[in-house]
Amino acid sequence: MASLFPQPCPELPEYGSLILKGPYHASAPVHLLLSHALANPDAKAILLTPNRASFKAALVDLNDEWLDHNSGHGRVASASRRTEIFYPPTLAHLRLLLSMLHEYDTMVHHEKTTLDVAPSLLVLHEISSYFDTASSETTVSAYLSVISSALALTNSWSPRHPGKASKLVVFDSGLTDLKLPILRPLSFEDQTHDIQRHRDALSVLLERYFEWRADAQVHEEARLAPGEDQTEDNEGEASPRVARSLSIQRCRGGEDGEGVVWHWTEVEHVRENSRPYTTFHWNEPES
Segment 34-54 shows an average pLDDT of 93
Asked whether residue 218 carries a pLDDT value surpassing 70, the answer given is yes
Kindly report, residue by residue over 95-123, the tens digit of the pLDDT.
999 998 887 776 666 778 788 888 999 99
CATH superfamily of 17-218: P-loop containing nucleotide triphosphate hydrolases (3.40.50.300)
| pLDDT classification of 181: cutoffs 50, 70, 90 | confident
* Cα 215 to Cα 278: distance, rounded to the nearest angstrom: 22
Asked whether residue 51 carries a pLDDT value surpassing 60, the answer given is yes
The rounded mean pLDDT for the chain is 83
CB distance 164 to 10 below 8 Å: no
| pLDDT at residue 132, rounded to an integer | 77
| pLDDT classification of 183: cutoffs 50, 70, 90 | low
**Would you kindly state where each structural domain of the chain is located, as residue ranges?**
17-218
Out of 21-30, 68-77, 106-115, 182-191, least confident range: 182-191
- Encode 117-129: b = buried (16+ Cβ within 10 Å), e = exposed: ebbbbbbbbbbbb
| pLDDT classification of 65: cutoffs 50, 70, 90 | very high
For residue 267, the one-letter residue type is V
Asked whether residue 148 carries a pLDDT value surpassing 60, the answer given is yes
| pLDDT at residue 258, rounded to an integer | 73
| pLDDT classification of 197: cutoffs 50, 70, 90 | very low
Query: Which of 78, 77, 96, 71 lies closest to 146 in space, CA to CA?
Result: 96
Sign of the CA dihedral 43, 49, 53, 58?
Answer: negative
* Beta carbons within 8 Å of 118's beta carbon, 6+ residues apart: 44, 103, 157, 160, 161, 166
* Beta carbons within 8 Å of 147's beta carbon, 6+ residues apart: 124, 170, 206, 209
Residue 70 or 190, more confident: 70
* Beta carbons within 8 Å of 239's beta carbon, 6+ residues apart: 230, 267, 268, 270
